[in-house]
Structure 1
Amino acid sequence: MKDTQILSTFQEWPPEPVASAAPPAPLFNACQVGVALRAVLFVELVVAVAALFGTANFFDWLIRLSLYTGGALPATVIWLVVACAARRPLLRLPPQGQYVAAIVLGALSGLYGCGLLVMSGLLEAPPWLASAASGALLAGSGVGALALRERGKTPAATTARLAELQSRIRPHFLFNTLNSAIALVRAEPARAEALLEDLSDLFRHALADQGESVTLAEEIALARHYLEIEQVRFGERLRLEWALDPAADAARLPPLLLQPLLENAVRHGVEPSAEGAQIRISTQRRGSNVVIKVTNTVPAGPGAQGHGVALNNVRDRLRLLHDVEGQFRHVLKDGVFQVRIEVPA
């Protein structure tokens, strides 16, 4: 019996690399905008409450709040800047070491804020010890809260990952692809081989542990595999348009983020319409951000309202990775559905 071209699509899997010791997990990431905003709001809230002690009226409280803020806000900013700049050295420390370093830095930042008030002539008897203790206490409390938040992201990320995998490995998609390959085996064996190779690459990425994030370029490459599979199935009914900016390729995304969006575009745009639909994928770098758009026409109308599981999953996974820096919006207008994603470049 002679081997056919189809057999060449089955490739030997490389041996699993020996897992190395995982680096210590970061307790917090002071470089994220969301973390910085939460730290500033937390310190300002504590300062506002502390200013209530010993005040006779609202104006007295306002004056105290202004004085305390003049020392606390610069101290908080310098803590965030130094913690962000020293992120790599901090990652080499165990969690306990990171915690101690954050507290020591908080004490030094408290002394820095007190020194600013002394140099400005606003304090006659500077409370150096109290400032250092307050800075250490606030830093310890803040880092503890951020550490709990990072720890809480793990089950949330696991849940989102499982939901994403379930949405990727849909039996009907696998059956449709295999049926398309079977139909091509005798008439066009080369196309059948390419189809199975695309399917293999798609499932290999879906089942592999790719870590927390991948590049936009990798997501686009995987999207091409998926759409090439669907192109075989729908032919001219699936009309594709790409508008890709190479400057945006390095942006980080959760693995398989674009996949559910493209499946939605095929399922709600191409499948229900006899004439098919157009799908447009665009990327663009705008300053320090990257904008990604997935747009599809809906010739057959919006149809029945879905549960929005795929869209919610994409939004949740984007928030887990980029916090407030990741933006996700979608809209259906005049027979066109568009998803817009914005992430740091």
Structure 2
Amino acid sequence: MAFNPTMQAIDAKELIPDLCQVRSLLWLVLFSEALVIVLILLTSGVQYFSWDSFGLLSFYVQWVGLLSAASLCRLRLLLPPLTLNQLTFLSFVLIQLVNFLMSTLTLYVLNYVMLEDYGWDWIIRNQLVSAILGALLLHYFYVQMQNRLHARSELQSRVQALQSRIRPHFLFNSMNIIASLIHANPDKAEQAVEDLSELFRASLKMAGTETSLHQEIELCKKYINIEQLRLGQRLSVDWQVHTSLQASIPLLTLQPVIENAIYHGIAPSEHGGEVSIEIKALQNRLHIYVSNPVCLNTHQLNEKGNQMALDNITHRLQALYGHDARVDTEQTEERFTIHLSYQQTVPSES
């Protein structure tokens, strides 16, 4: 396990996962019990499996594992950014210290309370086993961190490409609308230029940037205002917001969903239709529904591009809010609905 001592300082949370979560603790307990069973089988075999040794060793290993997890969980919150070498060294020393204290306590209990004959070689053996397992564990953390950073780098590249791309037809149509309004309605032309500049400014911000739901909605309304100038009465939008506007959302997440709804459901239709947007929070989970009419003659043509945009949004949500973030779609004969949901600390509906 080769570490670069000149690596820039990183946050402890990057290397050490959150071991205080229930799922992490469950896997730690199961792994510890599996390790105990392997050790007992190696020393006594199946026929002479010692349940006394199994109980004693399970008690010791579980306490070492749980205390080490609790210590690392606390360490990741308290440490300032350090180099990878420093973080690894401190984590390794902490695991060894917890193991030594538990070994010493267990040795005292065995020798002076239970009158068993265990010597210091037992502590040395435990420290060697702990050193090997600790090194393997930290190497696993390192590999997981590298995978996360690599995935994050790829995601940021994809998101940056998505954010920096504005459909040419939208840009050209917007410029033509502005040009036609300069003499007929200068105020509307000026407002359209301001709205377009806000969209460009947002698309140039750093990939993965979070913003408030209020700011994202305002950005979407600026986009809709421009499309309204082009589509006129063919486009109507129904907003239903039933949650806190301070909830966080990745920048330019809702806007491309609405853009898809207009591009696939409203623009191809001679009579247009209504885009319905509903946002609510249930049990600390944010739900966003965007619904548009189904235009059957262009559905197959635009299906691939629509799916690419949805995949990008899914990856962005999961990168920020975990793998339980979801982007689902539902289509009936008349409506196509996109449902975004992810865990958020926002007030729930009463």
Q: Compute the TM-score of the two structures, normalised by the length of structure 2.
A: 0.74
Alpha carbons of 1:104 and 1:78: their partners in 2 closer, same or farther (altered >3 Å)?
A: same
Q: Identity over the aligned pairs, expressed in percent?
A: 24
After superposition, what is the alpha-carbon deviation per residue over 1:108-163, rounded to whole angstroms, capped at 9, x for unaligned? Answer: 555688799999x99x7686536743663354133213222222224322332243
Pick closer, same or farther for the CA change 1:212–1:198 going to 2, 3 Å.
closer
Cα distance, 1:204 vs structure 2: 0.6
Partner of residue 256, structure 1: 252
- Tell me which residue corresponds to 2:215: 218
Q: 1:115 to 1:169 in 2, by over 3 A?
A: farther
**Aligned position for 2:78:** 89
Out of 191, 194, 212, the residue aligned to residue 194 of structure 1 is 191
Say whether 1:28 aligns with 2:15. yes
Deviates more, 1:226-235 or 1:130-139: 130-139
Q: Partner of 2:155 in structure 1? A: 157
Name the SS for the 2:323 alignment partner: helix
Residue 106 (structure 2) pairs with residue 106 (structure 1): no
* 1:195 CA drift (Å): 0.8
Distance 1:318 1:59 in 2: 53
Alignment of 1:249-328 (within 5 A): 249-251=246-248, 253-300=249-296, 303-304=299-300, 306-307=303-304, 308-328=307-327
Q: Determine the C-alpha separation between the residues in 2 that align with 1:319 and 1:115.
A: 44
Say which is worse superposed, 85-94 or 35-44, in terms of deviation.
Answer: 35-44
Equivalent residue, structure 1, for 2:37: 51
- Offset of residue 299 of structure 1: 4.8
Per-residue CA deviation, residues 141-197 of structure 1 (Å, 9 max, x unaligned), is 33213222222224322332243135x322111001111111221121111111110
Q: Decide whether the 8 Å contact of 2:288 with 2:339 is kept in 1.
A: yes
Name the SS for the 1:292 alignment partner.
strand
Residues of 2 paired with 1:231 and 1:157: CA distance? 32
**Structure 2 counterparts to residues 138-177 of structure 1, below 5 A:** 138-165=136-163, 168-177=165-174
RMSD of aligned C-alpha atoms?
Answer: 4.0
The structure-2 alpha-carbon separation of the partners of 1:194 and 1:320, relative to structure 1 and needing over 3 Å to count, comes to same
2:230 matched to which residue of 1? 233
Could you tell me how far apart the structure 1 residues matched to 2:296 and 2:172 are?
Answer: 24
Residue 207, structure 1, aligned to residue 204, structure 2: yes
SS in structure 2 opposite 1:256?
coil
State the secondary structure of the residue aligned to 1:209. Answer: coil
Q: Within the alignment, does 1:181 sit opposite 2:192 as a pair?
A: no
Residue type of the alignment partner of 2:171: L
Contact 2:293–2:335 (CA under 8 A) maintained in structure 1: yes
SS, match of residue 268 in structure 2: coil
- CA shift, 1:248, in A, is 5.6
Higher relative contact order, chain-length normalized (CA < 8 Å, sep 6+): 1
User: Offset at 1:75?
Assistant: 5.4
Aligned residues: 321
Q: 1:154 to 1:237 in 2, by over 3 A?
A: same
- Tell me the SS of whatever aligns to 1:101: helix
Q: CA separation in 1, counterparts of 2:19 and 2:199?
A: 32
Which residue type is aligned with residue 95 of structure 1?
L
Q: Which moved more, 1:298-307 or 1:49-58?
A: 49-58
Q: Which has the larger radius of gyration?
A: 2
Asked if structure 1 preserves the Cα contact closer than 8 Å seen for 2:159 and 2:207, the reply is: no
TM-score (norm 1): 0.75
CA spacing shift, 1:215–1:319, aligned 2, 3 Å = same
Shift of residue 280 of structure 1?
2.0
CA distance change for structure 1 residues 57 and 260 in 2, over 3 Å: closer, same or farther?
farther
CA contact (8 A) 2:310 2:327 kept: no
How far does the alpha carbon of each residue in 1:216-259 deviate from its partner, in whole angstroms, 9 at most, with x for none?
Answer: 333222222212221221122211111223426333x3332222
Asked if 1 retains the 8 angstrom alpha-carbon contact of 2:32 and 2:61, the reply is no
Q: Contact 1:103/1:139 (CA < 8 Å) preserved in 2? A: no
CA contact (8 A) 1:281 1:295 kept: yes
Which sections of structure 2, spanning at least 5 residues, go unmatched?
A: 1-7, 345-350
Structure-1 separation of matches of 2:82 and 2:47 = 45
